[in-house]
Structure 1
Amino acid sequence: MSLRIATFNIENLMARFDFSGYRNELWRDRAVALFEVKNEAEYRELERARAIAHTDDARQLSALAIARAKADILCLQEVDTIEALKAFEYGYLFKMVGQGYRHKYMTPGNDSRGIDLAVMMREETRHGQPIEFVRMSSHAHLTFDDLGLHTPLLGELGNDPHERVFRRDCLEIDVTVGGRPLTIYTAHFKSMGSPRNGMTGREATMPVRIAEALAVRRIIEDRFGKDRTADRRWVICGDLNDYAERVIIEGDEDAPRFRVAREAGSSIDVLTADGFCENVVQRRPELDRWTLYHTRGPQERHLCQLDYILLSPALARKNPGAVPDIIRNGQPYRTVFPPGQAVERFPRTGWDRPKASDHCPVAVTLDMA
């Protein structure tokens, strides 16, 4: 009896237009910036047309990536509303997979842009085992003080004790698969952002992600009991916005070189320390673990894993040979692939856009017997 579970940052599955680029040119889409805009009314008209045209291509590619993942349960990040998710599933994903993901769950989180976490699931696995929803819990309300996680460093960075730990949420969903219990924790940690105050964006935001990771551990330990956590079936899925290693890309376009660089510390270490859980993507070769291509121009390029499926020790022991798949066919052509990893892109994929997402779906098949 197996279950296939996946995570995917679908990148701004929005149901709203964003007109903030009229007041702030830094937020204006590059295509609109090419044209002279006389007034706000004209800008809104142009932005609506651009967004709709771009979204149709992008969501076809997102749906193809999800279809390729072949998941029974799919954890999503950056979803605007349940209505947007339903419209995407009916208008795009249905054309790829049919009546697959009938059940959809999400709840509002803390993100200032309103992008939330969601979980979609089939009524049964591909092998006919029933998937039954049991309950859902949001942890968006938890503060640093609630969990005793506030530190002086967090305070120096402008985070007060009464503020909420999660920048989005840690959404907890219990299901049974063929009668066997499974608890899913899906999260989307604080993004790195741009350099500030003499620090890289990653360094400046690391304390928040460490607090989020500690909070996830605390939630799981409080749920199952510290001494019993390792023996329960649970999985953490999501965009955790941090990496323990990178594949640095050097050289020119014609002859790129790839070098693995391991980080001195990462918020991911908080979750994997002491065998609390296993990052099963690390079962792949070290040059082949990436889920995102980052670039700020030819002089700053790397591949890294930001998207995770972390298995409880019980699930990891039960699945010693389970190696996740990373679906990269929706990546734009500007993404630099290491030797032997090139894939056939989905139709209509562009150099930079359209694309399925800036992230790649990650999926793994687990033995639930």
Structure 2
Amino acid sequence: MSLRLATFNIENLMTRFDYTGFRNQTRRDRAMQLYDVRDEAAYQALESARMLALTDDTRQLTALAIADADADILCLQEVDNMAALQAFEYGYLYRMMGNGYRQKFLIEGNDSRGIDVAVVMREETQDGERIELVDITSHAAVTYRDLGLFTPELALNNRVDDKIFKRDCLEFELRIGGKPLTLFVTHLKSMTNGRENGDGRMGTMPVRRAEVQAIRRIIENRFGVEGAPSASFAICGDMNDYQERVVISGNRRVGHSFTPVTQETSALDILSEDDFAVNPVLRRDVMDRWTLYHSRGPQEQHLCQLDYIWLSKRLADMNAKSVPEIIRAGQPFRTPFPAGQEVDRYPRTGWDRPKASDHCPVVMSLDLH
């Protein structure tokens, strides 16, 4: 019996227009900045039209990427609410795939922008095995005090009774053809809003480290420290951190060069140490593990893996020969691909936008015994 499991940050699946750019230039879209719009009503009309036109192309590309992943269970990040998820599933996914995801789950989390994690599931796997939700638990209310994870580093910008997860860690107890599987779906603290004029990744590292420690603690509390290695669980989501990256130099005119670099420290070390969880994307070539292109101009470019399906030791051993797929055809044309990795982009993909997302879906076939 095989299950297709995927994770995808679909980038701002929203039902709301953001008109704050009228009064705050830093929040105004670059296309709108080309025009001198002094009337707020006119601004709102133009911004609505711009977003509607861009959204339709974007969500067609998003649906194509999800269709190519062809997952039985899809873990999502950056979903506004259930209404947005239902509208996207029916208006785009169902039309694209011919069969949609009838089971949809979303619980409002802690994100200040209102973006949440969600899961959509088919009623059966492609092998005809029933996918059954036994229970769902939100851990959004868990605080640093609850798990004893408050540290002096955190005290600089946080309080002991603050919630650990900046979005949530949703726990799904499932049965796939009668066999147990527990999913933990999350979206960790972003690498922005760090120390002023400093390294945003390192500045936000204490928060992500606490989030990862909390995920591990929740799993160990659920299965026991000794029982976790033999449990069937997966941790899916946008971790906003990496243990390695591919540094890019050069430009379109002279060409690009790509150099893999291992990071000295990462919040994700908490999962990988002592084989608590396994990142099966490491089964791919070191140059071919990336799910996101990061750029702040030609002097700061890299490819990295931010999107993960972490497997328990039991699941990793049971699926030792299974290699995850990374769907990159929805990446914009500005993303430089290492030699041999080029793909045919989806129709209407732009230089920077529209695109399926800034992230790539990761999907993996798993046998459950």
Secondary structure of 1:30's counterpart equals: coil
Partner of 1:323: 323
Partner of 1:166: 165
Q: Return the alpha-carbon distance in structure 2 between the equivalents of residues 12 and 314 of structure 1.
A: 34
Partner of 1:199: 198
Partner of 1:363: 363
How many angstroms does 1:43 deviate by? 1.2
How many angstroms does 1:272 deviate by? 1.0
1:337 maps to a residue whose letter is F
1:41 maps to a residue whose letter is A
How many angstroms does 1:197 deviate by? 3.1
Q: Return the alpha-carbon distance in structure 2 between the equivalents of residues 191 and 263 of structure 1.
A: 17
Q: Return the alpha-carbon distance in structure 2 between the equivalents of residues 292 and 212 of structure 1.
A: 21
How many angstroms does 1:194 deviate by? 5.3
Secondary structure of 2:322's counterpart equals: coil
CA RMSD between the two structures: 0.9
Q: Return the alpha-carbon distance in structure 1 between the equivalents of residues 242 and 103 of structure 2.
A: 31
Partner of 1:117: 117
2:177 maps to a residue whose letter is G
Partner of 1:258: 258
Q: Return the alpha-carbon distance in structure 1 between the equivalents of residues 182 and 46 of structure 2.
A: 45
Partner of 1:245: 244
2:132 maps to a residue whose letter is E
- Over residues 244-266 of structure 1, what are the superposed CA-to-partner deviations in whole Å (9 max), with x where a residue is unaligned? 01100112323211001111000
Q: Return the alpha-carbon distance in structure 2 between the equivalents of residues 301 and 197 of structure 1.
A: 20
The answer to whether the 8 Å contact 2:194/2:204 transfers is no
Secondary structure of 2:335's counterpart equals: coil
1:8 aligns with 2:15: no
Partner of 1:28: 28
Secondary structure of 2:62's counterpart equals: helix
1:116 maps to a residue whose letter is D
Question: Across the two proteins, how many residue pairs are aligned to each other?
Answer: 368
2:357 maps to a residue whose letter is S
Partner of 1:74: 74
The answer to whether the 8 Å contact 2:90/2:100 transfers is no
- Return the TM-score normalized by structure 1: 0.98
Q: Return the alpha-carbon distance in structure 2 between the equivalents of residues 56 and 171 of structure 1.
A: 29
Partner of 2:44: 44
Secondary structure of 1:267's counterpart equals: coil
Secondary structure of 1:53's counterpart equals: helix
The answer to whether the 8 Å contact 2:333/2:352 transfers is yes
- Over residues 253-310 of structure 1, what are the superposed CA-to-partner deviations in whole Å (9 max), with x where a residue is unaligned? 2321100111100001111111100001111000000000000111111000000000
Q: Return the alpha-carbon distance in structure 2 between the equivalents of residues 58 and 248 of structure 1.
A: 28
Secondary structure of 2:294's counterpart equals: strand
Q: Return the alpha-carbon distance in structure 2 between the equivalents of residues 37 and 223 of structure 1.
A: 56
The answer to whether the 8 Å contact 2:247/2:303 transfers is yes
Q: Return the alpha-carbon distance in structure 2 between the equivalents of residues 92 and 53 of structure 1.
A: 15
1:216 maps to a residue whose letter is I
Partner of 2:344: 344
- Over residues 91-129 of structure 1, what are the superposed CA-to-partner deviations in whole Å (9 max), with x where a residue is unaligned? 001111122310000100000000000000000001111
* 5+ residue gaps, structure 1: none
Q: Return the alpha-carbon distance in structure 2 between the equivalents of residues 55 and 262 of structure 1.
A: 37
How many angstroms does 1:198 deviate by? 4.2
Partner of 2:84: 84
1:204 maps to a residue whose letter is G
- Over residues 147-169 of structure 1, what are the superposed CA-to-partner deviations in whole Å (9 max), with x where a residue is unaligned? 1000011111x111010000000
Farther-moved stretch of structure 1 (305-314 vs 194-203): 194-203
The answer to whether the 8 Å contact 2:219/2:228 transfers is yes
The answer to whether the 8 Å contact 1:194/1:200 transfers is no
Partner of 1:215: 214
- Return the TM-score normalized by structure 2: 0.98
The answer to whether the 8 Å contact 2:325/2:364 transfers is yes
* 5+ residue gaps, structure 2: none
Partner of 2:300: 300
Q: Return the alpha-carbon distance in structure 2 between the equivalents of residues 81 and 198 of structure 1.
A: 34
Partner of 1:150: 150
Query: Identity, % of aligned pairs?
Result: 59
1:166 maps to a residue whose letter is F
How many angstroms does 1:40 deviate by? 1.4
